[in-house]
Structure 1
């Protein structure tokens, strides 16, 4: 395994604030708001973990010994997590749900985000578009 820094189109401050919005198929990592526009990474995800470790505990992350660093987005090559998830599904289906997926890790001061995803894109949306996304998802919860 190897962990490498991902080069993004824009430079983001991964150190402090971030915000995650997730639907059943898309995970939005909101990184920056400027002039009424929100910059985000949109992952076509299958699985994610969000929380610990923070920057003080990053050495406890299983990928720390493979090059995981601070305050950025990283790609795990030949991820043991994807291998583990694939193994858990063995025998349950004729196809490998995780084929073609990558393991990304975003590290911040207070949290870490691990994502198994079919890819991601850098997006910018207006506050109105963000609120529409949340409203649409909330409306699907209706018991009617």
Structure 2
């Protein structure tokens, strides 16, 4: 098993990404704040985010098998079972040769029409935030190009899609 870092055109906000999950049984959307530093910021104050702030990204996962959301946070990352494989906070990663996918395959193996190759298309992704960790096994993901500029409007848009 190993961790592969994924670089996108954005960086997860290290202070308050405030991730939101919206899902049905076919699609899952992960919405969070990205790093956006004002050129006038002097480093002496903290900007508290609101649902109307812009600077978000929406990630859409297709055909997911399962997801986890919660602990550990960035201060307890070294307690995550994948930490020794290179897991990093405030980043997007893919787990190569994931034990979680193997476990899902084994669970499903009792199904009368089970085929191991159905699980070969899945990938294990980790989005590690400040206060939470989001992990998902899915066929893939895409960054939504048509998202709204703030979380409040984006949640309403996604709600219409689901």
TM range, smaller chain: 0.7 to 0.9
Aligned pair 1:66/2:85, yes or no?
A: yes
5+ unaligned residues in a row in structure 2: which ranges? 35-51
Structure with greater strand share of residues: 1
Count how many residue pairs are aligned between Structure 1 and Structure 2.
137
Alignment map for 1:1-144 (pairs within 5 Å)? 1-16=1-16, 17-32=18-33, 38-44=56-62, 45-92=64-111, 93-96=113-116, 97-124=118-145, 125-126=147-148, 128=153, 130-135=155-160, 137=162
Cα shift at 1:63: 0.9
RMSD between aligned residues: 2.3
SS of match in other structure, 1:50: strand
Q: Which has the larger radius of gyration?
A: 2
Native 8 Å contact 1:51 1:113 kept in 2: yes
Q: Return closer, same or farther for 1:35/1:70 CA change in 2, 3 Å cut-off.
A: closer
TM-score (norm 1): 0.82
Q: Deviations over 1:57-109 (max 9, x none)?
A: 21121111111011111100000110111011113133234221100011111
